Chains A and B, each alone.
Chain A
């Protein structure tokens, strides 16, 4: 067993970008009642992928002043002109998401025409569908969009749908709806909505009924995702070639015995040693204690909270050992699975402790690491949630050498505790033995 503060050789700085850092954003614009929402929903359904999220631009309405608020209730406030939307915030949000950061989506209440104090958190989508009458209006946003769609429908149909929807779902009266239509919606359509056709990539006439057009869009997105997935794999290969040195790795502890009952027992023993070693990497400060004989002893005490994050499914194998050393260790969980077909790690589930970034050390647990894809992703997730790189201690029972080099090269400040260095490309068998499936 060896612990290391992996040092950096004179290689250029390397960075790992998780697949969601380069998310695809699809903008869908079109008149009110044109069927944007249905088209968006149909695309989500046809893609049939996790991590596809619809972002409705209504969330970015500006908070109204009391005067505007009054107007809104009289159907005299123009919700259809670009001024009513906080484009600056929307641009910020989309940029953050493009960078792979966590963002907070405002929640807008139509009842009070106000932004609510709470927000919705959005992190790591692969595909984001931005839907709103003016989704393609702002050139800063248009630039961020991978696909720009304009949904078109006959204006009579739009008005008809709007009346049906507003009466049924928003409890409004027909007179008010018609008044708003002719005062704001229709003029705004001519002035702001229709011109978006010019910047769009695809115009979908007849909205949701137009299955051919929707199918084209879906195929296009799938092709893009495939290209990104290949690029991601290539990047992992590239990182492996960098000869970052990892100091003195030796194998002391061998893989456990084969009997099932024994496997669990010895695994827990090995893992306990690794956890104890990992705790050497955490922060301690001086403390004076008095012994029962009244003597002074100058010792050390842990500084700050030590928490753990298990990379599931395997990481939970290490929790038994963890609890032996810290019975009430705060534990977060992140489920990362390698996609069998693309060999790409996928983030399925994330539950991190509150104020994780304030803890003095975070042990990141994974019983076995091969290419390092899952570990890279997990470290990246922690950093994106505000954890400083040097506070992370990655604990694993067995790891492939290339994977370790990768991890150390990308995150030179993390500490790594490894039980045994094994051949590259070793499949993840330890968790299978531990759980028996």
Chain B
């Protein structure tokens, strides 16, 4: 999967619209990907600045947590845009009718431990009393394949929209297994939203083809994978940087 000669990530001028093109600073932006079910957040100057912060190896943990939480909230907000709504008319305090919408259906979060748990706070910030299930997947020492070690999910998960949380998507072994687990529990594929910070182009493409009805919301598709299957340029081990480093 690791391409020996990775296509470089696109670099373009990034800045507010009113800034003339020539004056915009050049920055690396997400690769384009042509799958309908993969949504990459708009590469706004804000997002690029936040990503720059968390990719920098000199960024200390307090800042890393703060800035990654900001991106995670953007991901959750974008993810919620993919849920269906119904018409809802309300009367405002001045007695006027306002024709709006309300969300229909129940949701829950499912974090892939340990790094996915770091995204729970961002999810709670947007959805106050959201139910949160957990899945622990580890590499099987013998087969080197991802293996399900533990799961605790809402009993009625089959009736819910699931926001699946995992910040880093390299080869996608864990995420694929997690989706299989959810499907076994009766969650239809089209009701799964995978929220992710940084993905590898090969991994996300394979994932999108494998689960065509599932939707991926990511903030950035990186350049590729190295020989050890780490995302490059990536940001290191998300769990370590968030919890222990």
Contact = CB atoms under 8 A, between A and B. Distances in A.
Interface in B47-70: 60-62, 64-66
A335 B152 contact: no
Contacts of B134: 312-313, 435
Nearest to A355: B244
A332 interface: yes
A312 to B, nearest CB: 8
Contacts of A194: none
B66 A327 contact: yes
A351 B114 contact: yes
A317 to B, nearest CB: 10
Interface stretch (B93-101, B121-129, B228-236): B121-129
A348 B138 CA distance: 11
A261 interface: yes
A54 B239 CA distance: 29
Contact of A437 (B120, B133, B149, B239): B133
A313 B243 CA distance: 16
B188 interface: no
Contacts of B243: 330-333, 351, 353
Contacts of B62: 327-328
Contacts, number: 77
22 contacts: A264-B124, A312-B113, A313-B134, A316-B120, A320-B124, A323-B121, A328-B62, A331-B243, A335-B113, A337-B150, A348-B136, A348-B150, A349-B136, A351-B114, A351-B239, A351-B243, A351-B244, A353-B243, A435-B134, A435-B152, A436-B154, A437-B132
A328 B60 contact: yes
A66 interface: no
Interface in A316-368: 316, 319-320, 323, 327-328, 330-333, 335, 337, 348-349, 351-354
A260 interface: yes
A184 interface: no
A320 B132 CA distance: 14
Interface string B105-133: 00010000110010011001000111111
Interface residues of A, number: 28
Given A264-B129, A316-B117, A328-B62, A437 B153 contact: yes
A173 B55 CA distance: 50
Contacts of A331: 243-244
Contact of B131 (A312, A320, A335, A437): A437
Given A335-B136, A349-B150, A436 B131 contact: yes
B108 A332 contact: no
B144 interface: no
A320 B150 contact: no
Contacts of B65: 323, 327-328
A123 interface: no
A437 B150 contact: no
Given A320-B124, A435-B134, A437-B131, 11 more contacts: A264-B128, A312-B134, A327-B66, A328-B61, A333-B114, A348-B150, A349-B138, A349-B149, A351-B114, A351-B239, A436-B130
A328 B113 CA distance: 19
A77 interface: no
B7 interface: no
A5 B121 CA distance: 33
Interface in A243-263: 260-261, 263
Contacts of B114: 333, 351
A50 B147 CA distance: 12
Closest 8 CB pairs of A and B: A436-B131, A328-B62, A437-B154, A353-B244, A328-B61, A261-B129, A260-B129, A331-B243
Contact of A320 (B66, B121, B138): B121
B103 to A, nearest CB: 16
B155 interface: yes
A435 B133 CA distance: 7
Contacts of A260: 129
- Of B129, B131, B149, B152, the most chain A CB neighbours within 10 A belong to B129
Contacts of B120: 316
Contacts of B149: 50, 348-349
Contacts of B128: 261, 264
A313 B244 contact: no
A72 B157 CA distance: 60
Nearest to B131: A436
